[in-house]
Amino acid sequence: MIPILAGFLVGAALLFAGVTLAALAFGTSFAERLMSPRPGITQTLAGVLAWTLALIAPGALVIIGLARIGGVLERLAMTRPPRSQLTAFAKTLPDEFVAATKVQLPDGQVIPELVVGPHGVAIFEVLPPPGLIRYVAGRWEIRLDRRRWLPTENPLERAARDAERVRRWLAAEDRDFVVKVHAALIAPDTRVTRTAACAVITRDQVPAYLGSLPPQRSLSPSRREHIVEQIRQTVSG
């Protein structure tokens, strides 16, 4: 957050400097001081240079300042937590389904959203908008600013690993059954190819996806309630 604040302050300072220079150049007697009835060569060159700076510098500072502030706003948009994808569906799910958000595992990893139901557990992770993430030349990249992209973790592999973390965490409770954990990536569309370990769905497909998961026969209502209680105890604020 400190680099973002510093970038905003720099942009604001450049913008203020540009506006101030423009006001000094065109709103005061600055122009009159540069004009002489009989200017010499030195005065003429100095006047041309001063006018050039007066015309170019304010505009350049304003443009650079606005660009800097725009970059800061983009970075803020990237760091803003994604909107919950399950909130709209939580109240419409049958009683046998329980949704939870921000589930913090013992290793510190936070699972954005998950649903406990007859299927076991399904975790959901959200793919950022296309303007912030892309897949090129066989790798995923995330946008750093207007021009720079940095390599990032494959979101499908991350979701699959998080599902495995949840499975190991639930198995650590020394139960006499293993909970099935499914992974799904919520994307703007389904152009991203799913893998054997992670489904790819849109936001509107969440209810249908949950309904398509096969029920886990060993997961009785009482066992499911134990899992729900364990998850509730770890939900981060």
Task: For helices 2-27 and 41-79, give the axis angle rounded to 10 degrees.
Answer: 150
| pLDDT < 50: residue spans in the chain | none
The 98-104 sheet, strands edge to edge: 98-104, 110-117, 120-126, 181-186, 199-201
- State the alpha helices, DSSP H only, in 35-171: 41-79, 87-90, 155-171
Q: Where are the beta strands (DSSP E) in the chain?
A: 98-104, 110-117, 120-126, 133-136, 139-143, 149-151, 181-186, 199-201
The pLDDT of residue 213: 94
The pLDDT of residue 198: 97
Report the alpha-carbon distance of residue 206 to residue 221 in Å, rounded. 22
The pLDDT of residue 159: 96
Name the pTM for this structure.
0.65
The pLDDT of residue 24: 66
Question: Could you report the per-residue pLDDT of 116-161, keeping only the tens digit for each?
Answer: 999 999 999 999 888 888 998 889 998 877 778 889 999 999 999 9
